[in-house]
Structure 1
Amino acid sequence: MTQHHPARPGGQVLIDQLSAHGVETVYGVPGESYLAALDALHDAPVHMVVCRHEGGAAYMAEAHGKLTGRPGVCFTTRGPGATNALVALHTAYQDATPMVLFIGLVPRGHTDRASFQELDLRGTFGASAKLVETIDDAARIPEYVARAFAVATSGRPGPVVLGLPEDMLTDVVRVADATPLPVPGGGVTPAELAHMEGLLTTAERPLLFLGGGRWTPDARTAVRDWAEAWSLPVAVDFRCQDLIDNESEVYVGPLGYGRDDALARRVREADLLLAVGTAPGDVATDGFTLLPTDGTGPRLVQVLPEPQPPGALYPAELTLLAAPEAFADAVRTRRPGTPLPWAVRTKQDRAAHLAFRTPVPEGDPLDLATVFATLDDRLPADAVVTFGAGNHAIWAQRFLTYHDGTRQLAPRNGSMGYGIPAAVAAAIHDPDRRVVSVAGDGCFLMNGQELATAVAENAKPLIIVLNNAQYGTIRQHQEQAYPGRVSGTGLGNPDFAAYARAFGAHGETVTVTDEFGPALQRSLDSGKAALIELKVTDGRLAPGVTVDSLRKESCHV
């Protein structure tokens, strides 16, 4: 009975629910709309990371969700504070990341009166969240929070938004704390397993495709062992390179932007596609062109933690309702009973991938292939690698090795400004782990101010900024479509190393290849957050791509 529980203000009830759900860290920017919650955090075991912009704070929460598999938590105030966080909410929604965003709101009596910083919560966030609710009764806070955490982690994970009216948080109530709700993982029946193995034994050119969320270390290991036992070539979805040890003999590369043409041909030639954790989408299939949409493509086995949407572009012959852990449990001891006709082809696919990911020096004064080979040699196996969106990420995707313990935190929705907050969050969560963020000059300055948060929290990420003084990805598209007509893509940049030092971080500038190794060593030895600015050779846009090469191509079209 609630009368036996101590009287608490709503803000205290809220923070107590976070503790009950195992939350140790939250990210946010303070606001007067949730002062009661801030007061409750004062004496709570929950640590608040105070950020410099709500976009950075929400990205940190999203990255926390990616890294841990548990909802990352962010607090913002109403109106502009809340809408600043929308970009990260979109990232979490498209990337299937568990996240809970708490938004302080105007008092309940001020709603629908065009009050200061009032906003329509559902109208603003409904298209980018799994659930949007407002808690009007402090006695129901435990109920709402338990539901939010369950929805954020169940099925296909994603973000949940909870509105907190300012006066609700000061109401004093007697209510029991909530018990976290169970999150079902689904499962694979013996009949379904037999059906899948029947499809496998009749295939000649199968391909295993991994992606999505809800992957645990055990699930990664078990699925890798199963794939190796069956000599199944394994491709991963865009920015999911940490789902399998890249040194595995069956790993054949990532699909998506910057992928190898040989892997694209392999997808076209597959006669059986086993998609675990994700469905084949537009990025992985080059705009739905690698797989035919008329029913003549490979047979599809689809393994998802929730039913495939109605009218899916690629209907599955077999659909398994299972999270990766449940699928791993089903296949971990299964071994083939007959020779595998595709084993030789898997070795060929693997060799093609190794050739593609081997850095080839291109002769630039600052040769980025050599730089990233050096970085790859220096990263420990459990490093966390983060980046945002842009051509700079291609070097990190192609030339860094993601081992069993490595984590890749990157936005699959192509959101710029993500890499720095993600690195800060990862370095706060695992202070003894090496965290490296690879940023473009445009991407970095969208949330570079969060270096202040890193220094304040004594977090020590290493940030590598590729400075080519332009929005390189757009410049590449521009040169392909309108060669020589540069418009709207140039950037005027600061001295990035000096910028880092201004925050109290270590700063280095590298202009030629031989300078990188010593600069890297000094940065790693600095004992604090560090930034290395790479002055990219003029005209370099991507591996194998320069402004001159694009213009020469356009002359031959």
Structure 2
Amino acid sequence: MPRAADVLIDSLKIQDVDRVFCVPGESYLGAIDALYDAPEIDIVRVRHEGGGGFMAVADAKYTGRTGVEFVSRGPGATNASIGVHVAQQDAVPIVLFVGQVARGDIGRGAFQEVNYVKTFSDMAKLVIEIRDPDKLAGSVQQAFYTANAGTPGPVVVSLPEDMLLEETQVGAKPASREVMSKPNAGEISELCRRLANAEKPIIIAGGQVGFEEGREALRSVAEIWGLPVAVAWRRQDIFDHSHPNFACHLAFNSPPVYRETLNEADLVVAIGTRLGDVTTQGYQIPTAPKPRQPLIHVYPDDVCLGAIFETELAIQADATETLQAVAGTNAPELPAGRLEWIKKVHSLSADRMKWDWKSADDGVVFGNVISHLVDKLEDDAVTAMDAGNFATWVQRLFPYKTSHVQMASAAGAMGMGVPSAVASSLRNPERQVVCFVGDGGFLMTGNEMIAAVERNLPIRFIVSNNSSYGTIRLYQERNHPDRSIATDLTNPDFAAVAEAYGIRGFKIERDEEIKPVIDEAFKVDGPSLVEVKTSLEYISAFTTISQIRG
């Protein structure tokens, strides 16, 4: 009879898992041994469980499938918890398999023992501890089903080390998936009636719109019904920014005019988004709990409908199915003023995507670098972004298309950039992947770039080095002027660090170096890293320290 560990790996194959991320540990040696006989599953050995968690999230975002990470008990599990939190915040399906002490030692406070149910229950959709090997197959089936059902998210599975080595009579079970709900004819009719009667409607579209099919349906609805589209936080790749119906990206620290203009709408249609606090600009568009305008909310999980906002029409359904149904319904002639409304909201982003190079005494303005990179990035490039104010320059200036991938965490977790670039490039090494990361985030997970060396992944790492935790410094300047503390950073020579890893390293310290250095770095056969000595004065794409201080 097979060991439970063997059934576990067979179960992964049935669940269409072809890659797992891990830091090996003795508490799940049985599973590692079983993976030895499964060459069809690629094992990506990471250098820190947090980096592996980010990679599992990014892999799920890239493929639309479930990301998987294996970690050892105690410290390994707690290190990996950042991936669990990000998966929950970003609505991404991952399964975290955690080694556990032997069953006879559970509850004794054994070496590295953790009660995973207590530890992860607030972040994970489900936490399972498998003590009976005959229940392993069913538990894995349940884990993958739950991770993908309703609002996708993380599931944690605890694997006592001795259980993995016991034999079992129960083989791997077939994959089970929730059937995505579709809108009914009455809901589509009412949605279309309200769209036809609105003078200034706005769509707020989120990540559940998904990949090519959903993005095409969103574009069709916008064009057929004459609707402007604002995209949710870090979902910029679901609608072309050059399209005349594109409104704006609802992000952190967006100019107040975004919120003020969109609140002129007389109908808000939120589709494929949970309407979190960032997307709604602090629950101000729409306003919680009672919106200023009628709200139509389309999302497949009814838990998210009407929970925060009074909703006049709540449709529990898949975003793509709903959009396709609306696109297939005859639209009336556009009301007077609709084209002017579309033009007005489109100007929110269009006017700010223009950039005249600026000079600063304390370094290179990162917007100068991004404006040059616009023409260097290919039409299907992946932009892997960490968290930080440096990213506002990418979000403001880069003209995203639906053929791009914006690989970034809505959770705002620093450290996502490098691991997500690696995970993306592993999926398609021929595709251009450019990683934008700040000095703070790079020093959290930059060690994971060693995978780009090991597998010769041609990732371009762009490190914005302003020697500061810039986002926090901005808030200090705004809320506690002249009292900045704990945000200044002493950094290494990042280009030299890259060279030590076996990656070509470059530096940009003056504006005249931007074009030649970027051109040379992008020609490298293999990974390359460009350190940009950036201006702290130009602390974000929308303000400067001097402007904050008045």
TM-score band w.r.t. shorter chain: over 0.9
| 1:78 equivalent in alignment to 2:73 | yes
Map 1:150-549 to 2 at 5 A: 150-213=145-208, 215-293=210-288, 295=290, 297-309=292-304, 312-341=307-336, 342-364=338-360, 366-549=364-547
Aligned 8 A contact 2:21 2:68 in 1? yes
- Residues in 2 aligned to 1:107 and 1:125: alpha-carbon distance in whole angstroms: 20
Relative distance call for 1:480 and 1:263 in structure 2 (3 A) is: closer
Opposite residue 27 of structure 2, the aligned amino acid is S
Q: TM-score scaled by structure 2?
A: 0.96
Opposite residue 513 of structure 2, the aligned amino acid is E
Relative distance call for 1:294 and 1:15 in structure 2 (3 A) is: closer
Give a deviation string over 1:220-245, Cα, whole Å, max 9, x none.
Answer: 11121111111100001111101112
1:214 CA displacement: 6.1
- Residues in 2 aligned to 1:343 and 1:306: alpha-carbon distance in whole angstroms: 33
Q: Which residue of structure 2 aligns with residue 9 of structure 1?
A: 3
Range 14-23 or range 167-176, more displaced:
167-176
CA-based RMSD of the aligned residues comes to: 1.6
1:530 CA displacement: 1.3
- Residues in 2 aligned to 1:134 and 1:213: alpha-carbon distance in whole angstroms: 30
| 1:36 equivalent in alignment to 2:30 | yes
Relative distance call for 1:439 and 1:227 in structure 2 (3 A) is: same
Range 323-332 or range 151-160, more displaced:
323-332
Opposite residue 171 of structure 2, the aligned amino acid is A
- Residues in 2 aligned to 1:383 and 1:474: alpha-carbon distance in whole angstroms: 30
1:442 CA displacement: 0.5
- Residues in 2 aligned to 1:38 and 1:293: alpha-carbon distance in whole angstroms: 49
Range 198-207 or range 512-521, more displaced:
512-521
Range 338-347 or range 448-457, more displaced:
338-347
Aligned 8 A contact 2:248 2:348 in 1? no
- Residues in 1 aligned to 2:320 and 2:287: alpha-carbon distance in whole angstroms: 30
Relative distance call for 1:294 and 1:470 in structure 2 (3 A) is: closer
**Residue of 112, 124, 128 corresponding to 1:117:** 112
Aligned 8 A contact 1:185 1:326 in 2? no
The runs of at least 4 consecutive aligned structure 1 residues that moved more than 6 Å come to none
Opposite residue 113 of structure 1, the aligned amino acid is R
Give a deviation string over 1:431-483, Cα, whole Å, max 9, x none.
Answer: 11111111110111110110112212322221111100011111111122232
Aligned 8 A contact 1:506 1:530 in 2? yes
- Residues in 2 aligned to 1:344 and 1:427: alpha-carbon distance in whole angstroms: 42
- Residues in 2 aligned to 1:482 and 1:142: alpha-carbon distance in whole angstroms: 55
Q: Which residue of structure 2 aligns with residue 19 of structure 1?
A: 13
1:313 CA displacement: 2.5
- Residues in 1 aligned to 2:246 and 2:376: alpha-carbon distance in whole angstroms: 22
**Residue of 127, 134, 148 corresponding to 2:129:** 134
1:429 CA displacement: 1.1
Give a deviation string over 1:203-231, Cα, whole Å, max 9, x none.
Answer: 11100001133613101111211111111
Aligned 8 A contact 1:105 1:166 in 2? yes
Range 424-433 or range 328-337, more displaced:
328-337
Range 138-147 or range 287-296, more displaced:
287-296
1:163 CA displacement: 0.7
- Residues in 1 aligned to 2:519 and 2:9: alpha-carbon distance in whole angstroms: 42
- Report the 3-state secondary structure (helix = DSSP H, G, I; strand = E; otherwise coil) of the residue aligned with 2:522: helix
1:310 CA displacement: 7.4
1:311 CA displacement: 6.1
Range 172-181 or range 92-101, more displaced:
172-181
| 1:101 equivalent in alignment to 2:96 | yes
Aligned 8 A contact 1:539 1:548 in 2? yes
Opposite residue 520 of structure 2, the aligned amino acid is R
1:270 CA displacement: 1.2
Q: Which residue of structure 2 aligns with residue 144 of structure 1?
A: 139
Aligned 8 A contact 2:291 2:309 in 1? no
Opposite residue 374 of structure 1, the aligned amino acid is H
Aligned 8 A contact 1:156 1:213 in 2? no
- Residues in 2 aligned to 1:387 and 1:511: alpha-carbon distance in whole angstroms: 21
Aligned 8 A contact 2:440 2:468 in 1? yes
1:148 CA displacement: 1.2
- Report the 3-state secondary structure (helix = DSSP H, G, I; strand = E; otherwise coil) of the residue aligned with 1:14: helix
- Residues in 2 aligned to 1:288 and 1:46: alpha-carbon distance in whole angstroms: 43
1:544 CA displacement: 4.7
- Residues in 1 aligned to 2:341 and 2:198: alpha-carbon distance in whole angstroms: 13
- Residues in 1 aligned to 2:36 and 2:465: alpha-carbon distance in whole angstroms: 41
- Report the 3-state secondary structure (helix = DSSP H, G, I; strand = E; otherwise coil) of the residue aligned with 1:172: coil
How high is the sequence identity, in percent, across the aligned residues? 37
* Structure 1 unaligned regions, length at least 5: 1-6
- Residues in 2 aligned to 1:539 and 1:262: alpha-carbon distance in whole angstroms: 23
- Report the 3-state secondary structure (helix = DSSP H, G, I; strand = E; otherwise coil) of the residue aligned with 1:274: strand
- Report the 3-state secondary structure (helix = DSSP H, G, I; strand = E; otherwise coil) of the residue aligned with 2:178: coil
Aligned 8 A contact 1:216 1:325 in 2? no
Opposite residue 361 of structure 1, the aligned amino acid is W
Opposite residue 506 of structure 2, the aligned amino acid is E
Opposite residue 525 of structure 1, the aligned amino acid is K
- Residues in 2 aligned to 1:214 and 1:376: alpha-carbon distance in whole angstroms: 25
Relative distance call for 1:544 and 1:320 in structure 2 (3 A) is: closer
The count of aligned residue pairs is: 546
- Report the 3-state secondary structure (helix = DSSP H, G, I; strand = E; otherwise coil) of the residue aligned with 2:97: strand
Give a deviation string over 1:60-112, Cα, whole Å, max 9, x none.
Answer: 00111111111110010000000001111111101101111000111111100
